[in-house]
């Protein structure tokens, strides 16, 4: 399986990092070794002094697809979850300056803690999902899918032109504003609406 990620999908986050608002989705990938499951702890890697959290909704692909049209894209996922796109911001800045790929800053081991998934049928309106991240019981990021630049279906249509979708693939759909650094002993808790789906400690 693969993990496809969308960068700069919320205008307020693109602005906070002084990135332009994109005209088409910014896409990158993480390897499967990035995943942390079952609320296992995240260990800050030695190569970074500035690991940022980014809370994101995650789609789980349930059907093989290539060149999927936006109209039918909703048939390709029926579960939505939440995860963190951990980013070694110091390393990413250096790579960006040199025009080099981001993989080491975005796809390192443990960079994708993943929570429980909920069925799409339990969500009233996919274009109005609230989600948030609490660190040490304080809300640091809050998002709503109505503020996405590219909808779930638009992302699937775009991505599947380049990468065939396979069953079990994951798509991280971008982070709202409020990203920041994590510290040892922080407790991160991620919610879709009022349901806590992911909770883990930084070590």
Options 21-29, 124-132, 157-165, 169-177: segment touching Zn ion (CB under 5 A): 169-177
Which candidate, 80, 196, 85, 177, places its Cα nearest to that of 134? 196
- In angstroms, what is the minimal distance from the CB of 124 to Zn ion? 25
Residue 178 in contact with Zn ion, rule: CB under 5 A:
no
Cβ–Cβ < 8 Å for 171, 25: no
Question: Of 60 and 106, which has the nearer Cβ to Zn ion?
Answer: 106
- In angstroms, what is the minimal distance from the CB of 182 to Zn ion? 14
- In angstroms, what is the minimal distance from the CB of 145 to Zn ion? 15
Q: How many CB atoms lie within 10 A of CB 162?
A: 10
Each residue 59-98 as x (binds Zn ion by CB under 5 A) or -, in order, gives --------------------------x-------------
Question: Of 85 and 189, which has the nearer Cβ to Zn ion?
Answer: 85
The two tokens of residue 1 are: 């399986």
Give the H or E element holding residue 12: helix 11-16
Residue 4 in contact with Zn ion, rule: CB under 5 A:
no
Candidate list 175, 182, 190, 192; residue touching Zn ion; CB under 5 A: 175
Nearest-angstrom CA–CA distance, 186 and 176: 20
Question: Of 76 and 172, which has the nearer Cβ to Zn ion?
Answer: 172
Question: Of 92 and 160, which has the nearer Cβ to Zn ion?
Answer: 92
| CA distance between the termini of the chain | 27
Burial class (CB in 10 A: 0-12, 13-18, 19+), 148: buried
Q: Within a 13 Å sphere around the CA of 115, how many CA atoms are in the beta-carbon half?
A: 27
Residue 54 in contact with Zn ion, rule: CB under 5 A:
yes
Q: Kindly list the residues in this chain that would bind Zn ion in the complex (CB under 5 A).
A: 54, 85, 175
């Amino acid at each position: 399986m693969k993990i496809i990620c969308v960068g700069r999908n919320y205008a307020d986050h693109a602005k906070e990092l002084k990135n332009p608002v994109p005209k088409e989705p910014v896409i990158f990938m993480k390897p499967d070794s990035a995943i942390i499951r079952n609320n296992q702890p995240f260990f800050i890697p030695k190569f970074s002094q500035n690991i940022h959290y980014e809370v994101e909704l995650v789609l789980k692909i349930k059907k093989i697809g290539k060149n999927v049209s936006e109209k039918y894209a909703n048939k390709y996922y029926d579960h939505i979850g939440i995860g963190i796109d951990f980013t070694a911001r110091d390393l990413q800045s250096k790579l960006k300056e040199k025009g080099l790929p981001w993989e080491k800053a975005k796809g390192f081991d443990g960079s994708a803690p993943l929570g429980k998934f909920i069925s799409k049928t339990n969500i009233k309106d996919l274009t109005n999902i609230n989600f948030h991240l609490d660190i040490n019981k304080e809300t640091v990021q809050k998002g709503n899918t109505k503020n996405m630049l590219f909808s779930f279906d638009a992302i699937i249509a775009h991505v599947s032109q380049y990468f065939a979708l396979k069953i079990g693939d994951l798509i991280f759909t971008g982070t709202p504003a409020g990203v920041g650094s994590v510290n040892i002993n922080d407790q991160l808790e991620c919610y879709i609406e009022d349901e806590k789906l992911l909770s883990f400690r930084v070590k």
